[in-house]
């Protein structure tokens, strides 16, 4: 990915909008992708308990924002 706001980040954010963690997977961040997917999946599965559903929705929003604002850290 180039920089924040690049076309790749927009695509990653759209992917995360539909499936939490997919945008991180598109960016090559496997651990973050698995973490977002599992936390949201468990929270949405337990939506009847209300609090896990709210937490899952917030984590899902975090996944979208994280995919959209990701920048690679370069060492010179």
Pick the residue with more confidence: 26 or 3?
A: 26
Q: How far apart are CA 2 and CA 4, in angstroms?
A: 7
Give residue 1's pLDDT: 47
**10-23 confidence digits (pLDDT tens):** 999 999 999 999 99
Closest CA to 26 of 9, 6, 2: 9
Q: Domain coordinates of the chain in residue numbers?
A: 7-69
Answer left, alpha or beta for residue 50, where phi above 0 means left and psi between -120 and 50 means alpha.
left
Kindly tell me the sign of the dihedral angle through the C-alpha atoms of 16, 43, 49, 61. negative
């Amino acid at each position: 990915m180039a920089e924040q706001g690049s076309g790749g980040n927009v695509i990653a954010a759209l992917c995360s909008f539909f499936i939490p963690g997919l945008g991180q997977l598109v960016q090559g961040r496997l651990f973050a992708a698995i973490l977002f997917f599992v936390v949201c999946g468990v929270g949405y599965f337990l939506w009847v308990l209300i609090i896990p559903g709210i937490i899952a929705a917030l984590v899902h929003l975090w996944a979208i924002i994280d995919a959209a604002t990701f920048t690679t850290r370069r060492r010179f």
